[in-house]
Amino acid sequence: MDAIRLHWFWSANPQKIRFALNEMGLPYRLEFVDLRVGAQRAESFLQLNPRGKVPALEVGDVVLWESGAALTYLAQREGKLWPCDEGLKGQALNLLFMESAAFQDVAGVFYYQKYIRPRFFGKPPDQTLIDANREKCDRLLGVLDGFLGDREWLLGELTVVDIAYAPWLAYLDLAQWPRLVAWAERLSNRDAWKACLKRVDF
């Protein structure tokens, strides 16, 4: 079995990968990249991720540095958390690309303002930025609500698509979408997600 190493920080994108690895039951090693001191700009890390961001996932000789790519690679490689139906595979890709191309940008504003800024910089959220992104975020949440419908998971069964959205949901206002609220609760109650929140030694 190829050794798996996840270069990570407590931010959303690396936590998606941890969530997926835990759900798949794969052994892996965590390599902490301290963004607070600029460790992501070290030459040794830039050789793994030329963008100078986390995560970077090493699976044997394969290195993945986009979270959506890493999730898709793991799911297809392991044959887990990925739909079998061809139509659902297409929907999985649509939703994963939407998360990386659009959802991250707006949800990331809420995440940064409500979590990163207070916790790591000791500053209150900038409500002006939150309000400026609310409409864009609501449109994307409406798309997710339409896909979810009355199902437990976006594609019927839990997949890496649900996992890709999981870290953002606690920082968004979901009140007008009760089905999304219930979905977020199901994700947050997964043992694999709870394990991501436990403090680890670096």
The CATH number linked to 169 is 1.20.1050.10
Please tell me the predicted confidence (pLDDT) of residue 201.
47
Q: Which domain holds residue 37?
A: 4-81
Q: What percentage of the chain exceeds 90 in pLDDT?
A: 92
How far, in Å, CA of 39 to CA of 59, rounded? 21
92 and 131 assigned to the same domain: yes
CB 47 within 8 A of CB 7: no
C-beta of residue 140 within 8 angstroms of C-beta of residue 134: no
The 3-state DSSP class for residue 89 equals helix
Residues with Cβ within 8 Å of residue 141, at least 6 apart in sequence = 172, 174, 177, 180
Task: For 126-172, write each residue's pLDDT tens digit.
Answer: 999 999 999 999 999 999 999 999 999 999 999 999 999 999 999 99
Q: Say if residue 119's pLDDT is above 50.
A: yes
- Reduce the DSSP state of residue 7 to 3 states and report it: strand
On whether both 10 and 96 belong to a single domain, the answer is no
Residue 2: per-residue pLDDT = 83
**Which of 81, 108, 131 is where one domain is finished?**
81
My answer on whether 106 and 161 are in the same domain is yes
Report pLDDT for 202: 41
Residue 98 sits in the same domain as residue 130: yes
Question: What pLDDT score does 199 carry?
Answer: 61
Q: Report, as an integer, the average pLDDT of 54-83.
A: 97
User: Mean pLDDT throughout 51-76?
Assistant: 97
Mean per-residue pLDDT, 110-119:
91
The answer to the question of residue 199 being in a domain is no
Q: What is the mean pLDDT of the chain?
A: 95
Domain count, the chain: 2
> Is 17 within the bounds of a domain?
yes
